[in-house]
Amino acid sequence: MNTQTDNTALTRYRRMAWITLAAVYFLILVGATVRASGAGMGCPDWPTCFGSWVPPTSEAQLPANYQEIYAELGYSDTRFNVVKTWTEYANRLVGVSIGFLIFLTAIYSWSCRTHDTRIFKASVAAFLMVGFQGWLGSKVVGSNLQPGMITVHMLMALAIVGTLLYALAQARRGIMASQSVENIDPRFEKWLYVILGFTILQVAMGTQVREMTDLLRESQGEDLRSSWIDAMPWFFYVHRSFSAVVLFANLWLARLLVMSLGWQHTLSKLTLTMICVIGAAVLSGATLGHLGMPALVQPTHLLAASLLFGLQFLIWMSYRHSRDGNTSNSFSKSESELSAGHNVPV
């Protein structure tokens, strides 16, 4: 494949990958909305919904003894709610659409395999992971929304995001290799790993808080949502306070980058975007913690946390590609100068 064709294939792939990533994040937002609104069992069976591929719009369309039918299947609290049913059904439709988009991304990656086989392999892996995620979704419904299963389902979504970002970063390797990081602050790399550790710890505590929220909804009901905070265990308060540590650590990282690379470098732009996302996460978290856990804010908080994970992963990959590209260029330059000095053909 010649250089022009190679560049065209990479450009098309990057465009498709960005669209797919945006769609995956939209699905995460929709899924979080389903969870926060309690619509997860709006469809008590899978892959159908109340036994149909298109769910009913009123209870009159269901058998008179539908509650007894689902009680025998282990869903004793099943009660038709048109809003919750169609919210969950929309979530499933979006999920199917994401599957098609990731399939298209894998097809687009085929033309990039001569440039970097990792782009193709990661794209195919993401498509296979979506299939597994669909199967996992059926198990979540079958478990009657057990909090642990929901968390695994969410972590799998982040794994798909990470795999797509890996493929996208490989397709952007040439872009980042052309941007010098020779003047980057020597503290940046170590600080980046510290921040990645902070984020993993914060996300881990967040999943525990989310599971506790589900348990409180089940035991106390939606009407007592404003009192859920009082029943939260110690890790909720650690999670809430630790957000300030995460924010200031990332602000320091942004300062290191801007002071050493300037505002226009891609790493600086990505990091400043990350600061905005962290701000949204902290603001939504504070709203949840101090204003009685409003349901509409929970999806925003989860989306911000997911975006933070993705941005930090992309920053890490982009930095490595810039660093390795600069090292290779410096090595090639030194060899050229050495060859010229000894009149040896290059």
Judge if 69 and 165 occupy the same domain. yes
Quick one: pLDDT at residue 326?
A: 67
Judge if 158 and 271 occupy the same domain. no
Going by C-alpha positions, the residue among 131, 126, 203, 213 that lies closest to residue 167 is 126
Helix-strand-coil split of the chain, %, nearest 5 = 80, 0, 20
Quick one: pLDDT at residue 154?
A: 82
Quick one: pLDDT at residue 140?
A: 80
Give the residue numbers spanning the domain of 17. Answer: 1-171
- Alpha-carbon distance of 23 to 97, in angstroms, equals 9
Q: Any residues with CB less than 8 A from the CB of 51 and at least 6 apart, and which?
A: 45
Cis peptide before 345 (omega within 30 of 0): no
Is 239 within the bounds of a domain? Answer: yes
What backbone phi and psi angles, to 5 degrees, belong to 315? Answer: -60, -45
346 residues of the chain, pLDDT tens digit each = 566 667 889 999 999 999 999 999 999 999 888 888 878 778 888 888 888 899 999 988 888 888 888 888 777 778 888 999 999 899 889 989 999 999 999 999 999 988 899 999 999 999 999 989 888 888 887 776 677 787 888 888 889 999 999 999 999 999 999 998 999 999 999 999 999 999 989 988 888 888 888 788 878 877 778 888 888 888 889 998 999 999 999 999 999 999 999 999 999 999 999 999 999 999 999 998 888 888 889 899 999 999 999 999 999 999 999 998 766 554 344 334 434 444 433 3
Quick one: pLDDT at residue 107?
A: 96
- Token readout for 118 is 């990792």
Going by C-alpha positions, the residue among 171, 151, 218, 204 that lies closest to residue 17 is 171
Quick one: pLDDT at residue 314?
A: 94
Quick one: pLDDT at residue 43?
A: 85
Judge if 226 and 152 occupy the same domain. no
Is 343 within the bounds of a domain? Answer: no
Going by C-alpha positions, the residue among 24, 32, 31 that lies closest to residue 99 is 24
Quick one: pLDDT at residue 327?
A: 65
- For residue 204, the domain's CATH number is 1.20.120
Is 227 within the bounds of a domain? Answer: yes
Q: Any residues with CB less than 8 A from the CB of 271 and at least 6 apart, and which?
A: 250, 253, 254, 257, 258, 315
Judge if 162 and 19 occupy the same domain. yes
Quick one: pLDDT at residue 329?
A: 53
Domains: count for the chain: 2
- Give the end of a domain, one of 171, 205, 231: 171
- Give the end of a domain, one of 142, 171, 200: 171
pTM, to two decimals: 0.85
Is 188 within the bounds of a domain? Answer: yes
- Give the end of a domain, one of 171, 206, 229: 171
Is 336 within the bounds of a domain? Answer: no
Judge if 198 and 156 occupy the same domain. no
Judge if 29 and 153 occupy the same domain. yes
Judge if 166 and 301 occupy the same domain. no
- Alpha-carbon distance of 341 to 82, in angstroms, equals 79
